[in-house]
Amino acid sequence: MGISTAHDSQQSGQGDTYFSLRPLEWVFYTDQTRRIMRLPYMLKRELVNEVAEQLNDYYKQDIAQAIDVILEEISAALIEGRRVEIRGFGSFSVRARKPRSTKNPKTGKIMHIPDRKTLHFTMSKSLKEILIKE
């Protein structure tokens, strides 16, 4: 099995499999097929690239800056204790967790966990229906 670059798609007639390492996907080359396997998560740069493909009139750096501003505003609202709702996607809210005691399974020692805040996401009805169909 050999490794190729993103632009190198050489294939030998020996049945070898070549693959390239791209930042966002693995591309496997076999004798007669080319198969792309995407990573199981989306990075911010991939989001910027996807939006840039759909909005050809904007630079990637402008799209990245817009995404930064959106995320900062969502974070600021959550820090203030406000709920953030994005229609058709879902809502983010902050929930308070009560303090509790638990036992460390390795040492058997009782540990006290203080109260804390956690982020909660509730998906919209339309997004839920789309995910259930898949």
Q: Is residue 39 predicted with pLDDT exceeding 90? A: no
The pLDDT assigned to 11 comes to 43
Average pLDDT over residues 110-115: 95
The pTM for the full model equals 0.64
- pLDDT digit string (tens) for 46-94? 899 999 999 988 999 999 999 999 999 999 999 999 999 999 999 999 9
CA-wise closest residue to 1 among 26, 28, 22, 33: 28
Q: How many residues does the chain have?
A: 134
Residue 121, by phi and psi: left (phi above 0), alpha (psi -120 to 50) or beta? Answer: beta
Q: Which amino acid is at 46?
A: E
H-assigned helices in the chain: 44-54, 60-79, 125-133
Residue that is written with structure tokens 């995407």 in the block: 38
